[in-house]
Amino acid sequence: GTPLAILAAIARTARAGAFVKDGTHLELLSGIDTVVFDKTGTLTRGQPVVTGVVPAEGFDVTEVLQAAAGAEMLSEHPLGAAILAHARDEGLTPHTPSDFGYQPGRGLTATVDGRCVRVGNAELVPEASAWTPPADVQGVTSPGTSLPGTWVHVAIGDAYAGTIVLADAVRESARRCIDELRGMGLRTVMMTGDAEAAARAVGRTLGMDEVHAELLPADKSRLIEAQVAAGRRVAMVGDGVNDAPALALAGVGIAMGSGTHIARESADIVLISSDLDDLTSTIRTSRRARRIIM
Ligand code: ADP
Ligand code: MG
């Protein structure tokens, strides 16, 4: 049976806002030496806002926004929700796509008003790789932080049509959490599908030990496997469709309560109110329970 100290610890973590699916994971959590975090929606709030739309030559802001917002109508991603909200604020009425395909970690391809529209990173819209952001785009920062924005490129048909710049803020609890984990002697690692510059800036602000950017879901899984193979005892925290396979591979998978259904399903522990302070207190509780048993 489950030791009494573990049962008591599960009850304690439940009051602290963490849903622990079973006791073995609490025991594993007490012995971890590395915590791997997803960025968007985990370390950041996942409520980005559009801060700029930069059309390519031959396109205008309205056309780019109308096409991108239509394509995003069936998307579950926080970037999609932000683009749609911005288009509506601008008085546009996006049209539902007749065809829609999502590539986690890259973006989406949809048919909007009879045209093929791609919305996503530079891998999905390679035509954008020649794009040089204007100075004001490079300088875009999220409110209250100095983080560079996330760029989402848009292609209509075969042509690069423009780039949408979005800003997201780092969670207040992320700063405290990374500081405390460091104090507890744990290594902190970020892995994200976002671009290198945006990822490094967040990693640097938070003082994380390692940053891995531009990862597809399979890359996230490989990174967890590599850490485990190197003898690391790994917990991973994430929220997205793209995190689910990696969450299942980590010794302890931890999902944000605000995350996607599949992330919560794949995880062993759910942080109900998406507060990273609850992560620190759950790790402390697991360590205390272990001391009582041994
Ligand atoms: P993270 O790993 O930090 O949670 P994602 O893997 O979800 O980030 O997204 C990585 C990148 O893929 C984004 O920065 C964006 O460029 C692109 N992307 C993913 N989903 C979408 C979407 N729905 N619309 C536009 N771009 C997207
Ligand atoms: Mg995420």
Q: What is the pLDDT of residues 206-228, one digit of tens each?
A: 999 999 999 999 999 999 999 99
- Residue 118 in contact with ligand 1 by CB distance below 6 A: no
pTM higher than the cut 0.80: yes
In which order are the strands placed within the sheet that holds 159-167? Answer: 49-55, 159-167, 150-156, 115-120, 107-112, 99-103
Least confident range from 145-149, 193-197, 251-255, 264-268: namely 145-149
Domain 4-45+170-293 belongs in CATH node 3.40.50.1000: yes
Name the 3-class secondary structure at 211. strand
- Residue 121 in contact with ligand 1 by CB distance below 6 A: yes
pLDDT at 179 over 90: yes
pLDDT band at 46 (very low <50, low <70, confident <90, very high): confident
pLDDT at 239 over 70: yes
Q: Which residues pair with 44 in a beta bridge?
A: 170
Q: Are 277 and 176 in contact (CB under 8 A)?
A: yes
Q: pLDDT by residue (tens digit) across 118-137?
A: 999 999 999 998 888 777 66
Q: How confident is the model at residue 197, as a pLDDT?
A: 84
Q: Please name the residue whose Cα sits nearest to atom 13 of ligand 1.
A: 194
- What is the position in ligand 1's atom list of the atom closest to the CA of 80? 23
Q: pLDDT by residue (tens digit) across 155-164?
A: 999 999 999 9
Q: Which ligand is nearest to the CA of 215?
A: 1
Residues 6+ apart with CB under 8 A from 79: 40, 48, 72, 150, 152, 166
Pick from 242, 205, 196: which is nearest to 220 by CA? 242
Q: Please name the residue whose Cα sits nearest to atom 20 of ligand 1.
A: 107
Distance 196 CA to ligand 2 centre (A): 15
- Residue 105 in contact with ligand 1 by CB distance below 6 A: yes
| Secondary structure of 177-203 as H, E, C letters | HHHHHHHCCCEEEEECCCCHHHHHHHH
pLDDT at 272 over 60: yes
pLDDT band at 104 (very low <50, low <70, confident <90, very high): confident
- Range(s) within the chain of domains with CATH label 3.40.1110.10: 49-167
Distance 3 CA to ligand 2 centre (A): 35
Least confident range from 2-11, 31-40, 270-279: namely 2-11
Question: What would the two tokens of residue 173 be?
Answer: 């609890």
- What is the position in ligand 1's atom list of the atom closest to the CA of 191? 2
- Residue 193 in contact with ligand 1 by CB distance below 6 A: yes
* Average pLDDT estimate for 56-74: 97
Q: How confident is the model at residue 140, as a pLDDT?
A: 57
Q: How confident is the model at residue 292, as a pLDDT?
A: 77
- What is the position in ligand 1's atom list of the atom closest to the CA of 242? 6
Question: What would the two tokens of residue 218 be?
Answer: 């399979």
Distance 59 CA to ligand 2 centre (A): 31
What does pLDDT average to over the chain? 92
Residue positions annotated with a catalytic role: 38
**To test the ligand 1 pocket, which listed residue (79, 86, 150, 171) has its Cβ within 8 A of the most ligand atoms?**
79
- Residue 163 in contact with ligand 1 by CB distance below 6 A: no
The pair phi, psi for residue 38, each rounded to 5°, is: -75, 160
* Average pLDDT estimate for 75-90: 93
- Residue 75 in contact with ligand 1 by CB distance below 6 A: yes
- Residue 94 in contact with ligand 1 by CB distance below 6 A: no
Q: How confident is the model at residue 139, as a pLDDT?
A: 58
- Range(s) within the chain of domains with CATH label 3.40.50.1000: 4-45+170-293
* Average pLDDT estimate for 56-80: 95
Distance 87 CA to ligand 1 centre (A): 19
The correct CATH number of 49-167 out of 3.50.50.60, 3.90.850.10, 3.40.1110.10, 1.10.287.1080 is 3.40.1110.10
The pair phi, psi for residue 208, each rounded to 5°, is: -85, 155
Q: Are 65 and 86 in contact (CB under 8 A)?
A: yes
Query: What DSSP element (H or E) covers 85?
Result: helix 78-89
Q: Please name the residue whose Cα sits nearest to atom 8 of ligand 1.
A: 193
Q: Are 289 and 189 in contact (CB under 8 A)?
A: no
Write the single-letter amino acid at 175: R
C-alpha span between 151 and 115 (Å, rounded): 22
C-alpha span between 116 and 35 (Å, rounded): 40
